[in-house]
Structure 1
Amino acid sequence: MASHRLKRSMKVALAASAIAMMAGTVAIPAGAQPSDPVEEYQELGAEAANAEEDLADAEMALDTNEAELAKAKSSVAQARQLEDQARRDQERLRGEVDHLTGAAYRGARFNQLTTALSSKSADDFLDQATLLESLAADNRQVLNDFNDAAERAKGAREQAQESELRAQQATDAAAKLVSDVQGRKTDLDGRIEQVRQALNDLNDSDRERLQGPVDTGSYLGPPGAANAALQAALSKRGSDYEWGSKGPTTFDCSGLTQWAYKQAGISIPPSSRTQWTAGKPVSKDQLQPGDLVFYDDGSGDPSQIHHVGMYVGGGKMVDAPTEGQLVDVRSIKGDGHYIGARRIVG
């Protein structure tokens, strides 16, 4: 559900991941001013990518909370049934308790003295005394059962109310987060449109440098699923970037890596931040083809990850960088934005 909502909400947004890596394919003129359209595009694009990742996180959190709410409602229904049953038991036992109370008040219960006076023999006395003790025990059990039923009813009611309240609070919080992030995204869209217009004004030479020639080299990974995923990703070189797209003809950055591993029979999460939680960490000097490489805003904070690519070897990766560029092989350098890597298999 989150992926569908996310894709719809992203259609109007400008893709801008892999911001740092664009430096390897975009030639920035010497002495360029900060207002240079490409630099402005990179800055705003990085903010947009972070905002989109925030939105994806929020929508996934909302889905999780909706599932928890559904589970909580089921628990509430069960708790209400237990409460109803306990109340029925309580009402049934109330009649017995009232009867016992009335009988005791009227003196219907015999004590040991009346038993002795009415007994014809010692054996008869013992038999009647035993019966009275049994009746007293039964009476105590009725009272205990009545109290237990009352406690069960109270506990079930409180549990149902608490579960429903917690689930609703969590869902409300997630919905508010989605609303907040969408507001940020709306603010960014206007600025991104200005940058898009500036990019449209670039001359043909700048456009060619932006897109660059597609790498057609061969790259091999270790035998198995990692290499299968790598070859799947490489087979999409030259494909267009589309924000929120998961393939098979257009991709965003995490869409490409997710699709590639799916072709190898392995499921990984949908966004670059959630893919950061997949597999196991691997140091930069131990990278192998098929590993996923991640980029943030330069802070080193995983919550600021906004781009992912797949390592191909030789200090390069295959990725879907941003709108205006194609799926291709590029350097993993990242200019300070590289945060780490994850090995999905092996």
Structure 2
Amino acid sequence: MVSHRRSTQPGRGRGVRVTVLSAAAATAAATLTGAPASADPKDTREGAKAAVDRLYGEAEQATERYNEAGERVDRLRGEADRAQDATARGQERVNLMRNELGAMAGAQYRSGAIDPALALLLSSDPDTYLERAAVLDRVGARQAMTLDRLRQAQRKVAQTRAEATRALAGLERDRAALTRHKRTVEAKLRQARQLLNSLPPEERADFDRASRSGRDGAPDLSGVAPGSPRAMAAVAAVHQALGKPYVWGANGPSGFDCSGLMQWAYAQAGVTLPRTSQAQRYAGRMVSLSQAQPGDLVAYRADASHIGMYVGNGQVIHAPYPGAPVRYDPVGMMPVSSVTRI
């Protein structure tokens, strides 16, 4: 963590204000980090900044779980809709076959069907009788086939109805998980904001510049070329997102979280990526960091809870955390867990 120097501007009133704010930061940091409130102010402030960074990391992990649950909700909603449509179509077929069988039974009743042997004895025209008997046989066979199809259709309706019921139950479970993850994210971000707000203004500004090695301005990317046409299109798109705000759970175009930015950028290149950073790391071929090319996805931390896009000359573009817009940062800003070529 980069150390931050105190301002040396004179003025007793300002010194008192900084002392009070630093004391507030010490108290907040002690609450979150377990450090005693009487600890060295510099150590306490550094502990507060480390706690903010940790909270942002935990919020990011919860955001990815939120995104994953949201993806499952969308998938289950589609499955439930398809199963319900199939159930309705199957029930319609069942009703048509029932009507057909009812018409057959009514026709037989109206014809006064009698024992075929007795009908043959009474018939004055055996040839006509035999023709009619053949027709009756065909009707009977058709009736049997209709009954068989009806039984199969009823089984299919029962199966699709059960599938719809399971999908809807899963949908409700994942909606509940979505709500839990949302509350977790909001709680972590609220804690981080409270802790940041307890720091003096100049230290808050220093934290934003120093956290994750953020830098001002664009790095020199002259002469850097992506490895494929789709990577080139994704890199062009991700550059368009520079300066857009971090919005947790968002995948553009006006705001992004880390994996939402990667998904959006590659969508502009006609490539569909999964929603979460953990799934995105397996969406292509893994390469070593030394082989990274523009357009490659760089996942961070052992659990791949953060992700950015390599754009060349040791730089990535990513959506860092709330309050920090989409920006350039050194590829080594955090421990790299994998590099994936799409």
In the superposition, the TM-score normalised over structure 1's length comes to: 0.71
Structure-to-structure mapping, 1:256-275, within 5 angstroms: 256-264=261-269, 266=271, 268-275=273-280
| SS of equivalent residue, structure 1 residue 251 | coil
In structure 2, relative to structure 1, the CA distance for the partners of 1:264 and 1:146 (3 Å cut) is: closer
> Following the alignment from structure 2 to structure 1, what is the Cα–Cα distance between the partners of residues 77 and 178?
18
> How far apart are residue 288 of structure 1 and its match?
0.8
- Contact 1:110–1:132 (CA under 8 A) maintained in structure 2: yes
> How far apart are residue 311 of structure 1 and its match?
0.6
Pick from 134, 153, 161 the counterpart of residue 158 of structure 2.
Answer: 161
Amino acid at match of 2:177: D
- Contact 1:96–1:142 (CA under 8 A) maintained in structure 2: no
Aligned length: 296
| SS of equivalent residue, structure 1 residue 241 | coil
Aligned equivalent of 1:190:
187
- Contact 1:241–1:320 (CA under 8 A) maintained in structure 2: yes
> Following the alignment from structure 1 to structure 2, what is the Cα–Cα distance between the partners of residues 146 and 247?
58
Write the deviation string for residues 258-289 of structure 1: whole angstroms up to 9, x where unpaired: 44345555554544345445444434343211
Identity %: 28
Amino acid at match of 1:318: I
Aligned equivalent of 1:217:
219
Write the deviation string for residues 155-209 of structure 1: whole angstroms up to 9, x where unpaired: 2223123202212311221221221242243245334422321112234146324
Write the deviation string for residues 212-247 of structure 1: whole angstroms up to 9, x where unpaired: 432422322236342343244345444443323444
Say if 2:90 is the partner of 1:79: yes
Aligned equivalent of 1:147:
144
> Following the alignment from structure 2 to structure 1, what is the Cα–Cα distance between the partners of residues 64 and 113?
71
- Contact 2:309–2:318 (CA under 8 A) maintained in structure 1: yes
In structure 2, relative to structure 1, the CA distance for the partners of 1:207 and 1:224 (3 Å cut) is: same
- Contact 2:243–2:325 (CA under 8 A) maintained in structure 1: yes
> Following the alignment from structure 1 to structure 2, what is the Cα–Cα distance between the partners of residues 28 and 100?
101
> How far apart are residue 101 of structure 1 and its match?
7.7
In the superposition, the TM-score normalised over structure 2's length comes to: 0.72
> How far apart are residue 86 of structure 1 and its match?
0.9
- Contact 2:237–2:268 (CA under 8 A) maintained in structure 1: yes
Structure-to-structure mapping, 1:21-32, within 5 angstroms: 26-27=1-2
Pick from 55, 58, 64 the counterpart of residue 69 of structure 2.
Answer: 58
In structure 2, relative to structure 1, the CA distance for the partners of 1:249 and 1:183 (3 Å cut) is: closer
Unaligned runs of 5+ in 2: 5-28, 35-46
Backbone CA RMSD of aligned residues: 3.4
- Contact 1:65–1:167 (CA under 8 A) maintained in structure 2: no
> Following the alignment from structure 2 to structure 1, what is the Cα–Cα distance between the partners of residues 316 and 100?
68
> Following the alignment from structure 1 to structure 2, what is the Cα–Cα distance between the partners of residues 249 and 287?
28
- Contact 1:44–1:191 (CA under 8 A) maintained in structure 2: yes
| SS of equivalent residue, structure 1 residue 293 | strand
Aligned equivalent of 1:88:
99
